[in-house]
Structure 1
């Protein structure tokens, strides 16, 4: 398939929407289930003090990716977040379900790494700000 700028920019927009929804919903759900999430984090050996940071990374990072605002920076942060959560929450070689979640996080991290390199595309606040 030949490179077509409009198709690539549209694909970047759709990809950003799909990649951002997971984190926007996850951050929002953590606010609604704050105590439950806090207890889960503590049970995993993760300090409860990190929960506000987790919520900020998920919500703000997800919204930034959705809007294409500070996309490269946000994608790097979410890349690192995916790797950290994969390792800290899902790495359990004896549990196939957790290892599937581990690999999903690693895969999502790969998508964010590509987005960090490729940028948000024409249909983004980054592009709009750069043009001004």
Structure 2
């Protein structure tokens, strides 16, 4: 282990870090989907205010919940992570692009940061503590 690679020089630490990354990255999408279900009408109005048809809301909920659960479990992680990175960027552009508003500025770059995290996860894979690892072990 070196000062420059304290995690990547240890397979165990890498796998723990990937698990924690998957938990953190998935939580926001799982919770967002549940929030959209709980406040369905308000969420539909918010989508409509951004110029999107509110009829897309059920698809957004299914995507956020499904992809979030896939990331959490480490199932089809690289594909799910790439899709969520794209979703994060599109959401930033559609809902948070008023960069003159400080809160929207923060939310915009939060989405950009999440996309970066998902791309790093896509590049690295889910790690040992994942469904992907179990499936690949059987091949």
C-alpha distance in structure 2 between counterparts of 1:93 and 1:116, whole Å: 28
Using the TM superposition, give the Cα deviation of residue 46 of structure 1 relative to its aligned residue in structure 2, in angstroms.
Answer: 1.4
Question: In structure 2, which of residues 31, 35, 44 is the aligned counterpart of residue 29 of structure 1?
Answer: 35
Question: In structure 2, which of residues 45, 48, 69 is the aligned counterpart of residue 42 of structure 1?
Answer: 48
TM-score w.r.t. the length of structure 1 is 0.97
Query: RMSD of the alignment, in Å?
Result: 0.9
Q: Which runs of 5+ in 2 are unaligned?
A: none
TM-score w.r.t. the length of structure 2 is 0.92
Summarize deviations over 1:20-41 as a string: whole Å, max 9, x none: 1110010011011111100111
Using the TM superposition, name which of 24-33 and 44-53 deviates more: 44-53
Secondary structure, counterpart of 1:122 in structure 2: coil
Using the TM superposition, give the Cα deviation of residue 93 of structure 1 relative to its aligned residue in structure 2, in angstroms.
Answer: 2.4
Runs of 4 or more, structure 1, over 6 Å off, are none
Q: Which runs of 5+ in 1 are unaligned?
A: none
Q: 1:131 maps to which residue?
A: 137
C-alpha distance in structure 2 between counterparts of 1:112 and 1:130, whole Å: 21
Using the TM superposition, give the Cα deviation of residue 79 of structure 1 relative to its aligned residue in structure 2, in angstroms.
Answer: 0.3
